[in-house]
Structure 1
């Protein structure tokens, strides 16, 4: 079960599949080109033509089909799962992760604003003294957490 799924419709059926899925309650459906930029997702070559995301409290479960083994050897659970991933955490504050950091490069007793997963890369690059390659992260969020020129307050 997942908070999202990707679909490749049969040739010529993209709009039909999209329109039918758009009628289903408790999910959001996106054509690849319409996936929000904030997902940091649509420009990857592995993204399929349709993305479906589940609303909070719902999950997407693939059907169990005899003779078909899904990636990772997935088998449909007999009861609901205790947790999941694939949800839009930019809108779901109760689904965000927690990051604790300490060390000489980070400010002491500092509580940062929400940090997206794509921002961690820049933070780690600054700590390690590595020039980050172009990415979707926000450099300013990472820099706010760092001690500036010897100040460790």
Structure 2
């Protein structure tokens, strides 16, 4: 990439993003430095730029806030299909409940009609028996 393109891209990048990218780059370089690259005192090699604690805390706080926003967004997005499914389930259960109530009502009415019909049949059978006893065969 030519230097004019680099200048153009860096001019379009906001300062905060460049600073955090710079810090992120430093953190990445720091993290990838092996233990073999440390001097006897255990400090980082001189080729790695030092990062102030304030910069590190600011970067980590920024990343934490970003992650919390991302997690919150992911949770909200994952809840939408669940809410839709729960709504559909409520509609289905409501429909089944309405059908069940209608079926119970019809069954109750049918039971009452059957009881009435049985009572009528028994009364007619008793009346028929009475008529047979009182009836004389003319032959």
TM-score interval for Structure 1 and Structure 2 normalised by the shorter chain: under 0.3
Give the number of the structure with larger relative contact order, counting CA–CA contacts within 8 Å between residues 6 or more apart.
1
Which structure dedicates a bigger proportion of its chain to helix?
2
* TM-score, scaled relative to structure 2: 0.18
Which structure dedicates a bigger proportion of its chain to strand?
1
Q: Which has the larger radius of gyration?
A: 2
* TM-score, scaled relative to structure 1: 0.17
